[in-house]
Structure 1
Amino acid sequence: MNHHDTIVALATPSGAGAIAIIRISGKEAIVVASEVFQSIHGKDITRQKSHTLHLGHVLDGNKVIDQVLLSIFKGTNSYTGENTIEISCHGSTYIQQQIIQLLLRKGCRMAQPGEFTLRSFLNGKMDLSQAEAVADLISSDNEASHQIAMQQMRGGFSNEIAKLREELLNFASLIELELDFAEEDVEFADRTQFHDLLKRIEFVLKRLIDSFAVGNVIKNGIPVAIVGEPNVGKSTLLNALLNEERAIVSDIAGTTRDTIEDELVIGGIGFRFIDTAGIRETKDVVENIGIKKTFEKMEQAQVVLYLVDGSQLFSIDGGIGQLKIEMEKIRNQFPLKTLITIVNKSDTLALEQQALLKSELEAVLLLSAKQNTGVEDLKNQLLSFVNTGALRNNETIVTNTRHYDSLIKALEEIQKVQFGLQSHLPSDLMAIDIRQALYYFGEITGQVTNDELLGNIFANFCIGK
Structure 2
Amino acid sequence: MVNNDTIIALATPSGAGAIAVLRVSGKLAITISAKLFKSVHAKCLTEQKTHTIHLGHIVDGERTLDEVLVSVFRDPQSYTGEDVVEISCHGSPYIQQEILQLFLRNGCRMANAGEFTLRAFLNGKLDLSQAEAVADLIASDNEASHQIAMQQMRGGFSSEIAKLREELLNFASLIELELDFAEEDVEFADRTQFKELIDRITFVLKRLIDSFAVGNVIKNGIPVAIVGEPNVGKSTLLNALLNEERAIVSDIAGTTRDTIEDEISIGGIGFRFIDTAGIRETKDVVESIGIQKTFEKIAQSQVVVYLFDAEAVFAKKASLEGIKVEIEKIKNKYPQKPLVVIANKVDQINAAELQQLKAELPNMELLSAKTGKGVEELKLILTNFVNTGALRNNETIVTNSRHYDALIKGLEEIQKVKYGLESGLSGDLMAIDIRQALHYFGEITGQVTNDELLGNIFANFCIGK
TM-score, with structure 2 as normaliser: 0.98
Q: How far 1:358 sits from its partner (Å)?
A: 2.9
- Aligned-partner Cα distance in 2 for 1:195–1:19: 58
Q: Which residue of 2 aligns with 1:208?
A: 208
- Aligned-partner Cα distance in 1 for 2:140–2:90: 27
Q: How far 1:348 sits from its partner (Å)?
A: 2.2
Q: Which residue of 2 aligns with 1:300?
A: 300
Contact 1:25 1:84 in 2 (8 A): yes
CA distances 1:411-456 after superposition (whole Å, capped 9, x unpaired):
1111110011000000011111100110000000000011111111
Q: In structure 2, the residue corresponding to 1:179 is in which secondary structure?
A: helix
Q: Which residue of 2 aligns with 1:148?
A: 148
Q: How far 1:29 sits from its partner (Å)?
A: 0.7
Distance 1:325 1:280, change over 3 A: closer
Q: Which residue of 2 aligns with 1:111?
A: 111
Contact 1:222 1:301 in 2 (8 A): yes
Q: How far 1:321 sits from its partner (Å)?
A: 4.1
Q: In structure 1, the residue corresponding to 2:101 is in which secondary structure?
A: helix
Q: Which residue of 1 aligns with 2:251?
A: 251
Contact 2:216 2:399 in 1 (8 A): yes
- Aligned-partner Cα distance in 1 for 2:2–2:192: 49
Q: Which residue of 2 aligns with 1:442?
A: 442
Q: How far 1:313 sits from its partner (Å)?
A: 2.4
How many residues are treated as equivalent by the alignment? Answer: 465
- Aligned-partner Cα distance in 1 for 2:31–2:10: 19
Q: In structure 2, the residue corresponding to 1:264 is in which secondary structure?
A: strand
Q: In structure 2, the residue corresponding to 1:76 is in which secondary structure?
A: coil
- Aligned-partner Cα distance in 2 for 1:311–1:178: 79
Q: How far 1:347 sits from its partner (Å)?
A: 1.5
Identity in percent? 74
Q: Which residue of 2 aligns with 1:77?
A: 77
Q: Which residue of 1 aligns with 2:6?
A: 6
Q: Which residue of 2 aligns with 1:424?
A: 424
CA distances 1:328-370 after superposition (whole Å, capped 9, x unpaired):
2111111221111111111222223323333432521111111
- Aligned-partner Cα distance in 2 for 1:93–1:283: 53
Q: Which residue of 2 aligns with 1:463?
A: 463
Q: Which residue of 2 aligns with 1:260?
A: 260
- Aligned-partner Cα distance in 1 for 2:137–2:95: 29
The residue correspondences of 1:189-200 to structure 2 (distance < 5 A) are 189-200=189-200
Q: How far 1:315 sits from its partner (Å)?
A: 4.7
Q: Which residue of 1 aligns with 2:60?
A: 60
Contact 1:16 1:93 in 2 (8 A): yes
- Aligned-partner Cα distance in 2 for 1:318–1:152: 52
Which letter maps to 2:382? L
Distance 1:2 1:164, change over 3 A: closer
Q: How far 1:309 sits from its partner (Å)?
A: 1.1
Which letter maps to 1:418? K
What is the CA RMSD across the aligned residues, in angstroms? 1.3
Q: How far 1:211 sits from its partner (Å)?
A: 0.7
Contact 2:443 2:449 in 1 (8 A): yes
- Aligned-partner Cα distance in 1 for 2:407–2:353: 52
- Aligned-partner Cα distance in 2 for 1:155–1:318: 56
Q: In structure 2, the residue corresponding to 1:77 is in which secondary structure?
A: coil
Q: Which residue of 2 aligns with 1:385?
A: 385
Q: In structure 1, the residue corresponding to 2:82 is in which secondary structure?
A: coil
Q: Which residue of 1 aligns with 2:180?
A: 180
Where does the alignment leave 5 or more consecutive residues of structure 1 unmatched? none
Q: Which residue of 1 aligns with 2:369?
A: 369
Q: Which residue of 1 aligns with 2:96?
A: 96
CA distances 1:68-118 after superposition (whole Å, capped 9, x unpaired):
111110001000000000111111111111111111111100000000000
CA distances 1:239-286 after superposition (whole Å, capped 9, x unpaired):
111111111111111111110000011000000000001111111111
- Aligned-partner Cα distance in 2 for 1:26–1:317: 72
Contact 1:308 1:343 in 2 (8 A): yes
Which letter maps to 1:31? T
Q: How far 1:2 sits from its partner (Å)?
A: 3.8
Q: How far 1:48 sits from its partner (Å)?
A: 1.0
CA distances 1:144-192 after superposition (whole Å, capped 9, x unpaired):
1111100100000000000000000000100111111111111110000
Q: In structure 1, the residue corresponding to 2:76 is in which secondary structure?
A: helix
Q: How far 1:132 sits from its partner (Å)?
A: 0.4
Which letter maps to 2:193? Q
Q: How far 1:325 sits from its partner (Å)?
A: 2.8
Contact 2:58 2:65 in 1 (8 A): yes
- Aligned-partner Cα distance in 1 for 2:92–2:121: 32
- Aligned-partner Cα distance in 2 for 1:319–1:280: 12
Distance 1:318 1:114, change over 3 A: closer
Distance 1:97 1:140, change over 3 A: same
- Aligned-partner Cα distance in 2 for 1:23–1:118: 14
Contact 2:312 2:318 in 1 (8 A): no
Q: Which residue of 2 aligns with 1:400?
A: 400
